Structure 1
Amino acid sequence: MALALLFSGQGAQKVGMGRSLYAQSAAARARFDEADATLGYPLTRICFEGPEEELTQTKICQPALYVHGLALVEALREQGRLGPASAPACALGLSLGEITAYAAAGVFDFQTGLRIVAERGRLMQQACETTVGSMAAILGEPREGVAALCAEFDIEAANFNAPGQIIVSGEKAKVAAAVAAAKERGKKVIPLNVAGAYHSRLMESARAAFAVFLSDIEFSRPAFAVFTNTTGRALAEPEELRAALVRQVVSPVLWEDCMRSAVAAGASEFWELGPGSVLAGLARRTDKAWAVKSFSEFEDLAK
C-alpha cells in the first residue's frame, strides 16, 4: 500500500473537533496543549466549545485545522498505524492544509508550522476585512466554460476541486453578477457563505506580507513527496516549497490535479485527516475507484 495523507482546508472546521482525541490520546493532547502555549490563547477550548462564530474566523479556524490534522497524525503514530515501517508515500492538503502537509513531511517543525498558519490566517482575515469579496461554486461545468464566465465578469477561478466542481472568487458585486447570469443560462451555481475572496487578487496584501514573513523561516526537503496546490505536482526544493506557499494565497487551488498526480505517482490509499469527510467526497467525485478513509476523532482510528 502506498499511503497518501490528505489534510483539510478552511470550511471543514466544526465545534467539538478533536475533543475525543484530546481525551483519549496523550500524543494528540500534547499537540493541542503545545498550540495553546505557542499561540497565547485557548485554541483548544474554542475547538471544543466554540462559539461557532469564533471558530469560523479565518485567523482561528486555520490554526485549528492545522493542529487537528497533526494531532491525528500523532495519534496514529501512537497506535503504530504510522511509523518507520508504515510511512506515508506522500501528503497533500487543500489550501491551508498544504501547510499541515509540509509539517507532516518534516519541512518544518510543529511550532514553526503553527506560527506560519496563524500568520497566514491573520493576514487573510485582514485582507477580507479591507476588501469586499465573495465566492461561489459552479457545478457540472468544464474548466473552459468556467474560464469564459470568469473572463466575462472579471472574476477568478479559485479552486478546481473535482470534475464539475469549481469555485470562483472575486469582488462581491462581480461574483453576484456572474452567479445571476450563470443561473439564467441554466447552470447550477451555489453562492458560498465566506468572509472574502480567497485565492484571488483581493488577497494580494496578504500574499505580499506573507512572503516577507516566510523569508526568514528555514524550510527543509520533505521526508516524503508533497504535492502543491499551485502546481498540481510534487515539489521538494525548499525554495520551491516556500514560493508555492506564498503564491497559493492569490492563485487557484489545483486540488483535482494534486490528487491525480498522487495516484500517478503510485498512491493507492488516501487517509483524510480532518473534521468530516469533504476530501473523501471530492475523491469519490473524481474517481470512485480510489480508496479513501476519513479520520476525524479517536473512534475513527479503529478503521
Structure 2
Amino acid sequence: MGKTTFIFPGQGSQYLGMGKDFYDEYPEVKELHDQVNDKLGFNLTEIIFNDEKKINMTEFTQPALVLTSYAVFMITNREKPDLKPDYIAGHSLGEFSALVAGGSINPVDGVWITHIRGKLMQEAVPEGVGGMAAVIGLTADKIKEIISQISGIVEIANYNSYEQTVISGEKKAIDEAVEILKEEGAKKVVPLPVSVPAHSSLLREKAVEFEKYLNEIEIKDLSVPLVSNVTGKPIKSSGEIREELKVHFYSPVKWVQSIEFLIGDGVLNFYEIGPKKVLSGLIKRINRSLNIKNIDTVEDLRKL
C-alpha cells in the first residue's frame, strides 16, 4: 500500500473559475469565502471567478490559490474521512496551503498572510528589473556552475525535477544566463512571464518585513509533518514553521529533494489537492512508478 502524501500547488496553477463547483455545491465553502472576503476587505471570490487580469496578479493569485486549495481539502476531508496523509507538502506558495490544511494556520489567516506576501513580493523590485527562467535538460549542478560565473544576481530558485530547474534574479543577468545555458547544451531555456524574482536573494529585505506580519498570526504545531521546501526534510513544531516561513521567501524550493525524501520513507501515494496537475507532472518526471491522483474538481473527488 505504501504511505500517503497530500501535495498543494503553487503560483502558476491558477485559472479563472477554479473551485467554483465546490463553491456552488457546498455551503461551507461559500461561508469560508465570505469570511475571507470580510478579513481582506475586498471580494476575492469575484476575482477568482470573474477577473482574468487580477487573478494573475501576484497579490491576488497567492490568496486565491490558498483559498481554493483549502476548500478542496476541506471537502475531501469530509467526504473521504478514511483518506489520511502521513505527510503534507506544498510547492512554493503551496506550502501555505499545506500548513492551513494541516491545522497550523487558520484558513482565513492563511489567505490574508499570502495576500500580504504577494504584495511584498511585487514591491520587492521595480517592474522589469527581476525575472525567472525555466531550464530544461541540464543538471542543477551544471546550471549552478554556469550561473556562478555571471555578473549580477542569478540563482537557482526551484529544483523542480531532474530535467527542470528554475533560475531567478536580475533580468539582465537572467537574459545573459539564458543565452549561455543554451550554448552549454540545455534542451530549452524558457523565460517566465513574471517580474517578481521569486526565491532569490533580491527578496531578502522584504522577508524581514514579512516576518512582522507573520508575528500577527497564530501558528500551531502540526499533527502531520510538513516536508519543508527549504530543507527537503519534515518539520512539525510551530517554532520550526516560523523559522521556515522567515527564509522561505528567498530560499530555493527543494522539490526534488522533498520527493526523494518522501519516496525514501515509503510514500507511494500522492494526492495533488487544488488547481491543475503541475506537481503531478513534476513527480512523474522524478519517479514514474508512483500512484498520483489529482483533486481539482468535485468530479475528481467523486472518482476517488
TM value normalised by structure 1? 0.94
Letter in 2 for 1:175: I
2-structure distance, mates of 1:125, 1:218: 25
Deviation for aligned residue 1:264: 2.3
Contact 1:92 1:98 in 2 (8 A): yes
Partner SS, residue 195 of structure 2? coil
**Counterpart code for 2:256:** E
**Letter of the 1:48 counterpart:** F
Distance 2:85 2:157 in 1: 28
Q: Which residue of 1 aligns with 2:184?
A: 185
Indicate the residue corresponding to 2:58 in structure 1: 58
Query: In 2, are the aligned partners of 1:31 and 1:70 still within 8 Å (CA)?
Result: no
3-state SS in 1 of match to 2:157: strand
Partner of 1:274: 274
Structure 1 segment 198-213 matched on structure 2, within 5 A: 198-213=198-213
Q: Is the 8 A contact 2:223 2:236 kept in 1?
A: no
**Matched residue SS, 1:162:** coil
Which residue of 85, 98, 101 corresponds with 1:101?
A: 98
In structure 2, stretches of 5+ residues that fail to align are none
Match of 2:246 in 1: 246
Contact 2:77 2:83 in 1 (8 A): no
CA RMSD of aligned residues (A): 1.5
Paired letter, 1:145: K
Which residue, out of 129, 132, 136, partners 1:135? 132
Distance 1:11 1:281 in 2: 14
Give 1:130 deviation, angstroms. Answer: 6.4
Give, in whole Å, the separation in 2 of the partners of 1:266 and 1:112: 33
Structure 1 residue 28, shift from structure 2 partner = 2.5
Shift of 1:176: 0.1
Rounded to whole Å, the distance in 2 between the matches of 1:269 and 1:174 is 39
The answer to which of 150-159 and 183-192 deviates more is: 183-192
Percent identity (aligned) = 32
Letter in 2 for 1:98: E
Structure 1: any 5+ residue segments left out of the alignment? none
**Are 2:230 and 1:230 equivalent residues in the alignment?**
yes
Match for residue 158 of structure 2?
Answer: 159
Q: Partner residue of 2:175?
A: 176
Answer yes or no: is 1:116 the counterpart of 2:117: no
Query: Would you identify which runs of 4 or more consecutive aligned residues in structure 1 move more than 4 Å?
Result: none
- Corresponding position of 1:9: 10
Q: What amino acid is the match of 2:227?
A: F
2:302 maps to what in 1?
Answer: 302
Counterparts of 1:110 and 1:78 in 2: how far apart (Å)?
16
1:40-87 C-alpha deviation (Å, 9 max, x unpaired): 211111111122x211111000000000110001111232x1x3x432
* Residue identity in the other structure for 2:196: G
Equivalent runs, 1:276-295 vs 2, <5 Å: 276-295=276-295
Q: CA deviation at 1:289?
A: 0.6
TM-score (norm 2): 0.94
Aligned to 1:178, the other structure's residue is in SS state helix
| Cα shift readout 1:211-253 (whole Å, capped 9, x = no counterpart) | 1222343321101010110010101121111111110111100
